[in-house]
Structure 1
Amino acid sequence: MGQMKTVGKKAWGYRYVILVAVWLLYVINYFDRTSVLIFLPMIRDELGLTPAQAGFGASIFFFAYAIAQVSGGWLADRIGAKRVMTIAIVVFSAVTFLTGMVRSYVQFIWIRLFLGFGEGHHFAPAHKTIADWFPKKEKGTATAFFSTAWAFGPAIIPVVITALAAAFGSWRPVFYVLAVPGLLGMFILWYFVNDKPEEMVKKGRMTQEEYDYIKSGLVSDEAVEGKKGGMSIVVKDKYFWIYSLVLFCNLAIYWGSTTWISSFLYDQHHFNLKTMGALVSLPYVVAIVAMLLGGRLTDKIFKNKTKPVLLISYIVSIPVLFYVGMVPTGNVPIIITMLVLLGFFVNLSFGAVYAYPQIRYPKDIVGSAVGLSNGFGQLGSFVAPLVAGFLVVKTTSGYSYTGAFIFFAALAVLASIGTLFLKEDKFIMNNQSVKSSSTSL
């Protein structure tokens, strides 16, 4: 027991190499998807699109992405997370290259669909990898660190790609350049990552002590261990659907605001491209801190309980989202303050919300649980930008996004209510019936 404790407190271990690897892969993923949103005002103008058409083009990505979550989780449980992530990287890197060649609205829609389908097969396998490599008491922190990929990426992407666009004189060549990191991603995946920790013990990259520590803390259940019918098992748990609704709202808020924040600053507040790129990065710089803090609070302060962190995030986000769209044009200090608050409280939830299925469900079905719940949740990513696009109002001085941010605030209210009904005890399957244990592992 003392030895296990020593290993657990070890400053470094191969499980952290795995974590950094899947994190880097997802940063590459985010470069591809976020760049389209940063250039959305320019793409809209060049292709002659209305705000509603631009919103549909942004949203359709998440329709394909949502469908791919389910198949991605299902495939990860069957053929292995590493193989599925490889396919995803090949597809989304190729589609990113083709994005620079878009010349019409129809082409733009098809590109967004294929990009969503490719990137959608990346998420659930990445979470399954974390589930296979980290014991329960570290899942909140590990998941929070992984979640910073979608804060770190958007924090640096606007600055990098707007500088590239300025250097090239156009947004199109940027997408040709962004296809290159996919090659680096494939090398990282195949050299450093393995689906099974025991394989790294055999290769001498991980100690037996670390393997024993990981294995002793994995969420497992003899009733489902080794079984492949993950989806048929988790759908019997009513709390899975409550969680999926909460995740729907969570992702709708995040991607709704992420999709329109650059257009909001460009259209409503009339910032130039360079200033807009810097301000768009601000919420995501703050989000890195928020995500890591949320994970540590889940693991250390609330002892693997996700609900307190989720409630703090959603409840405080309500007034923040409500007011963001009402900030008077030109009031830069207030805009900066609201962007910081938005970045912190909207993103505080991510470590906890994605740790939930890893804490509740056995490792053998966690790929299916994450894939199905995120598939449902990503429908929020599809719906929110689309609805917000119709809530953007053209004015004499440009566009008003007030209605869109009020809509995001209403989603935070719904997420808060759903969180109150979540059950966090370990999921157990016995004799084809589902129950919750009264105690956690």
Structure 2
Amino acid sequence: MAAPGFQLGGLKAWWVWALAVTFVIYLFSVQTGYSIVNPQIQKSVSLSVTQVAAIAATYTWVFAISQFFGGALLDRLGAHKVLPVSIALVTIGVFIFANASSYTMLIVSQFVMALGACTGFVGAGYIGGQWFGMAKFSLMFGLVQFCASLSSAFSVNALQFALNELPWRELFNYVGVFGIVLTLLGFIYLRNPTPVESSESDGFGRFVSSVLGALLEVAKVPHVWISALICSALFGSLLAAGVVWTPKLMLTLGASLETAALSASLLWLGLALGCLVLPAMSDRTHRRKPLIIVGCLVQLACAAVLLYVPGIPVPLAMVINFVFGFANSAHMLTFSSAADVVPPQLIGTSAAFVNGLAFIAGGFMIAAPGARVVSGEAAGLSEHSLALAEYAAEPLLIALAVALILAMIMRESYPHITTSGKESDHVQSQSAAS
């Protein structure tokens, strides 16, 4: 039950959820910003190419490692003791970044930002489950991804426009000021509807033990691993397609550089729309598995058509990219499926576990097509040839095929619905033990 005066799904719930989603958009924009201002940073701080890459790698690996603990912290301490501090850390990192005068300061900025960012996406999903009830968890998490996908599609252009008007240091100081405002709002409003009973009074050692125990409890459930591997394959494929493969492929089909970039954005737009549709369909049909299977099949079909059907017009290829992104929204159901089989007090941990594996896999899958492009060119394949695009896409096709096989063997996890229309926690606990 919610605390007195707090209604699950009411105006207060939407306000708290909106703040959590604003944090997600904020940190996504900051992440995108680094990739855009790389040339200016390299020039103003006198960095080598290796140092620029090391700065990006610092953020990636610190985020990936701390991601696993972020969800457990939310489950143990609640939103009020975790999310405002996370926003503050990202904001501090932004100010260090904007005023960095050395390579060391830039490394520190990425480390601090990554520590704060690790609870962003998972935290917004956690807020949805807490303030709207577990029956709405899938739908609300889908809405989080919808907002994140839209920000990914448009933040590059918005930041590029801003950089044309302002020096990069001034721009990121303004971004930091926005973070201060968001931090203050977070400390005032971001909280669970009811206080979370934590083990802080038992001492730091016992608290750390409880966090690790939550991770271990989630990791013991085989279905969580299956969900995480499917999510890793699907979302990793989207990242690889958006960053490396789709622009290359569109150029081989005769698209201009601008059209190739737009086609990559269509992947994110398709994902955004799919996140509005598929979670809602899952809740209406009381099924996860069929929609995940269909999502895998559609993505495989789209990739196969783009690669192996000759003479596809560029406009049709752009539509297929959009459909690929739409079908990729099936990966959001893996978060719901993992949450279905753990106790309600571990939904944050399960979401972080799935997202952590997906993030790590995404990094490898982004690198795989890029590496194969380099090796293909070294083997004599033309830079803009279809043969090179096919060669680069093989890891994506394999990952999607593996995801399809896993989706077909996974069990249906949608929670049992009682005659009163409420989810049975007893069934969820039984599922977690199985």
Aligned partners of 2:34, 2:255: CA distance in 1, in Å?
A: 20
Closer/same/farther in 2, CA of residues 275 and 315 from structure 1, 3 Å limit: closer
For the residue of structure 1 that corresponds to 2:406, the secondary structure is helix
Could you tell me how far apart the structure 2 residues matched to 1:176 and 1:142 are?
Answer: 32
The residue number in structure 1 matching 2:294 is 312
Matches within 5 A, 1:86-235: 86-99=84-97, 112=110, 114-168=112-166, 174-197=171-194, 229-235=213-219
Aligned residues: CA RMSD: 4.1
User: 1:24-64: CA deviations, max 9, x gaps?
Assistant: 221112111233345679989996749xx988875664432
Question: Alignment partner for residue 344 of structure 1, among 326, 336, 340?
Answer: 326
Residues 40-93 of structure 1: per-residue CA shift (max 9 Å, x gap): 79989996749xx98887566443222112221121122222322222222223
Structure 2 residue runs of 5 or longer lacking an equivalent are 1-6, 197-209, 416-426
Unaligned segments of structure 1, at least 5 residues: 1-6, 200-226, 437-441
Instruction: Provide closer, same or farther for how the CA distance between residues 261 and 359 of structure 1 changes in structure 2, counting only shifts above 3 A.
Output: same
Q: What does residue range 370-409 of structure 1 map to in structure 2 within 5 Å?
A: 370-393=351-374, 394=377, 402-409=390-397
Aligned-pair distance for 1:287?
2.4
- Partner amino acid for 2:277? L
Deviation at 1:105, TM superposition (A): 8.7
**Aligned pair 1:246/2:246, yes or no?**
no
User: Equivalent residue for 2:273?
Assistant: 289
Q: Which structure shows the bigger proportion of residues in helix conformation?
A: 2
Q: Is contact 2:228–2:358 with CA below 8 Å preserved after alignment?
A: yes
The one-letter amino acid of 1:297's match is M
Residue identity in the other structure for 1:150: A
Aligned-partner Cα distance in 1 for 2:249–2:100: 25
Instruction: Count residues with an aligned counterpart.
Output: 392
Q: Residue by residue, what CA displacement relative to the aligned partner does 1:137-165 show, whole Å, maximum 9, x if unpaired?
A: 32221111112122121122122112123
Cα distance in 2, alignment partners of residues 42 and 265 from structure 1 = 29
Q: What secondary structure is seen at the aligned counterpart in 2 of 1:180?
A: helix
SS in 2 for 1:392: helix
Confirm whether residue 416 of structure 1 aligns to residue 413 of structure 2.
no
Check whether the contact 1:148–1:288 (CA below 8 A) recurs between aligned residues.
yes
Per-residue Cα deviation, 1:122-181 (whole angstroms, up to 9, x for no partner)? 23333322222222332221111112122121122122112123334x766554443333
Partner of 1:237: 221
Q: Aligned to 1:349, what secondary structure does the other structure show?
A: helix
- Residues 238 and 287 (structure 1 numbering): CA distance in 2 closer, same or farther, change over 3 Å? closer
Measured after TM superposition, the shift of residue 277 of structure 1 is 6.2
Which of 335, 359, 362 aligns to 2:340? It is 359
Q: Residue type of the partner of 1:349?
A: A
Q: Name which structure has the greater RCO, CA cutoff 8 Å, separation 6+.
A: 1
Bigger mean CA offset, 289-298 vs 399-408: 399-408
Percent of pairs identical after alignment?
17
Using the size of structure 2 for normalisation, the TM-score is: 0.74
Structure 2 SS opposite 1:196: coil
Contact kept, 8 Å, 2:126 with 2:347, in 1: the verdict is yes
Instruction: Determine if contact 1:295/1:352 at 8 Å carries over to the other structure.
Output: yes
Q: Who is 2:315 aligned against?
A: 333
